Amino acid sequence: MDTKRDMKQKNPWHRQLTVVIAFLFVWGIIALVTTAVVQNKPLPKNSKYGIVLDAGSSHTSLYIYEWPAEKQNDTGVVQQLHVCHVKGPGISSYAMDPEGAGRSLQDCMDEAKRIIPERRHEETPVSLGATGGMRLLKLQNPEGSEKVLSSVEKTLSSSPFEFQGARIITGQDEGAYGWITVNYLMGNFKQGSGWLNLWPKPETTETLGALDLGGASTQITFVPEGEIESLESSLYFQLYGNKYNVYTHSFLCYGKDQALKITLAKQLQGHVPDSLVDPCFNPGFIKNMSVHSIYSSPCTAGESYTTNTQGRFLLKGTGNAQQCRENVKQIFNLTHCPSSSCSFNGVYQPQLQGNFGAFSAYYFVMAFLNLTTSERPVTLVEVKEKLREFCSTPWQTLKENFTNVKEKYLGEYCFSGTYILTLLETGYKFSPENWNTIRFIKKIGDSDAGWTLGYMLNLTNMIPSEAPCSPPLPHAGYISLMVIFSLLLMGLLVTGWLCFGKTTCTSQKEVV
């Protein structure tokens, strides 16, 4: 005991040194933990925004997208923040009043100004893409379509956002961007990065085909199994390091509103009677139609006709789904196919492959007919049975049962449902065996299925062809590991020091 006391007295710095080291050690731990906590504190939301206007044949919708500023190249980060439906018809209806087209967009543009933070306005891209309706107007009245485009351009470019153009997109682009949207939202464009991704990626990643039905045109887009025979239907993408050979085709005039005009024109066969009995409308349904509304479209312009004096006729429904299907089938020409396989009208289509997402009017119609919400996929037989039952329902009963549904839509659901069935079965060759590969969808997550998101991702270069290089560990993981390893090292150091210190003491004791 005396020896020990002697030693401490001999070495007065020993205690102070221990206290200093212990203090530094504790301070070090506090500093490390504080750094980790501060570094990993969630950052304040730093979003960027983009606006796309979908100028369809029947209406225009404005979509606002949002994404975290620091992550814009990652897959699946862009989300739909808001959609504003423009009041009134599609912009192609404004050929006689072009200024009205631009004016009609103003309310939705004002809404976008309120939703997107002001400091982001200048850098937010805004673009408008017009589809089938404007494609038809351009065929029929090129000058009118230019005026309409200039008018909407004027409204968009006078907004505080960064105007990126108002143009008519091709049917091929419409199909391609719809396919990109659904696969982006499904997370099918997997990124190959990170230290755990040591295996080579498979050549083809499973993707979802896209079926889009509009009022004026319809698109089918999917990755087929073999080669794509026709160059004009073939698209090649390299996205996030994966390669895709995509088949797409857009049928102008085969959107459901134009298809109805063609079907009616086929029945009229150039002679307009006072009344036309039609199996595609419910029994008791009567509508006074103008002959001009049918024959003024470029989709029916080829047909010559003689009309009665009033230029109008009465459309009278009989509600017979089977006969309706026979009538609708007539608008699909199946007699010639210059390629190894075709859909209709001599258009090349490879064998159907994989699963399909059917959106836009496909969804609206099938959802109304209760053919989307089942736990299990609805079979083709059930679809036909449902149509038989729905079409034969008297118009009066329908009106009483669906007071909140727009009469225009309600009156056309028998035709629309039958058209969808015929387009998919007779046109695209879906069969009872692969009918269950189709899902009728409106949204994926919070974002609408449609071409607009894909269009914006492309316009803003947000889908890189190669997977972006990212550090093997996420930031939080990196900080945590740093803290753990530092603590371990310190622990070792202290243990070592204590042992070393003890040995020295012991030896000192022995010596003393």
Ligand X SMILES: O=c1[nH]cnc2c1ncn2[C@@H]1O[C@H](COP(=O)(O)OP(=O)(O)O)[C@@H](O)[C@H]1O
Judged by CB, which is closer to ligand X: 136, or 352?
136
Compute the distance between CA of residue 323 and CA of residue 297 in angstroms, rounded to an integer: 25
Strand ordering across the sheet containing 234-239: 234-239, 242-252, 217-222, 209-213, 356-360, 438-440
Compute the distance between CA of residue 195 and CA of residue 210 in angstroms, rounded to an integer: 33
Other beta carbons less than 10 A from residue 4's beta carbon: 11
At 308, the amino acid letter reads N
Compute the distance between CA of residue 422 and CA of residue 424 in angstroms, rounded to an integer: 5
- Residue from the set 50, 90, 171, 427 that interacts with ligand X by CB under 6 A: 90
Compute the distance between CA of residue 279 and CA of residue 70 in angstroms, rounded to an integer: 57
Q: Which helix (H) or strand (E) holds 235?
A: strand 234-239
Name which of Ca ion, ligand X, none residue 283 binds, using a CB cut-off of 5 to 8 Å depending on partner kind: none
Judged by CB, which is closer to ligand X: 84, or 272?
84
Q: Does 300 bind ligand X (CB under 6 A)?
A: no
Which residue in the list 111, 123, 143, 174 is annotated as catalytic? 174
Q: How far is the CB of 57 from ligand X (least distance, A)?
A: 4
- Residue from the set 50, 98, 255, 427 that interacts with ligand X by CB under 6 A: 255
How many residues of this chain bind ligand X (CB under 6 A)? 20
Nearest to 70 by CA among 99, 44, 100, 41: 44
Q: Does 125 bind Ca ion (CB under 5 A)?
A: no
Q: Does 25 bind ligand X (CB under 6 A)?
A: no
Compute the distance between CA of residue 429 and CA of residue 344 in angstroms, rounded to an integer: 9
Q: Which range of residues in 188-196, 249-257, 297-305, 374-382 is near ligand X by CB under 6 A?
A: 249-257
**Where in 117-176 is the site for ligand X (CB under 6 A)?**
131-133
Judged by CB, which is closer to ligand X: 15, or 87?
87
Cα within 13 Å of Cα(82), Cβ side: 16
Site string for ligand X, 58-87 (x = CB under 6 A): xx----------------------------
Name which of Ca ion, ligand X, none residue 25 binds, using a CB cut-off of 5 to 8 Å depending on partner kind: none
Q: How far is the CB of 132 from Ca ion (least distance, A)?
A: 7
Angle made by CA atoms 359, 361, 364, in degrees to the nearest 5: 90
118 belongs to the catalytic site: no
Name which of ligand X, Ca ion, none residue 256 binds, using a CB cut-off of 5 to 8 Å depending on partner kind: ligand X
Judged by CB, which is closer to Ca ion: 60, or 327?
60
What residue is closest to ligand X based on CB?
214
Distance of CA 272 to the CA centre of its chain: 42
Q: Cα Rg for the chain, rounded, in angstroms?
A: 33
- Residue from the set 64, 137, 176, 365 that interacts with ligand X by CB under 6 A: 365
Q: How far is the CB of 153 from Ca ion (least distance, A)?
A: 20
Name which of Ca ion, ligand X, none residue 59 binds, using a CB cut-off of 5 to 8 Å depending on partner kind: ligand X
Judged by CB, which is closer to ligand X: 175, or 224?
175
Other beta carbons less than 10 A from residue 12's beta carbon: 8
- Residue from the set 332, 364, 402, 478 that interacts with ligand X by CB under 6 A: 364
**Where in 40-59 is the site for ligand X (CB under 6 A)?**
56-59
Name which of Ca ion, ligand X, none residue 58 binds, using a CB cut-off of 5 to 8 Å depending on partner kind: ligand X
DSSP-assigned states of every residue in 440-486: E-SEETTEE-SSHHHHHHHHTT-S-SSPPP--SS-HHHHHHHHHHHH
Terminal-residue alpha carbon distance, the chain: 12
Q: Does 56 bind Ca ion (CB under 5 A)?
A: yes
Q: Which range of residues in 165-173, 207-215, 268-276, 473-481 is near Ca ion by CB under 5 A?
A: 207-215
Cα within 13 Å of Cα(291), Cβ side: 21
Are 334 and 344 in contact, with CB atoms under 8 Å apart? yes
Contact residues: ligand X, CB under 6 A: 56-59, 90, 131-133, 214-217, 255-257, 360-361, 364-365, 409
Contact residues: Ca ion, CB under 5 A: 56, 214
- Residues with active-site annotation: 174
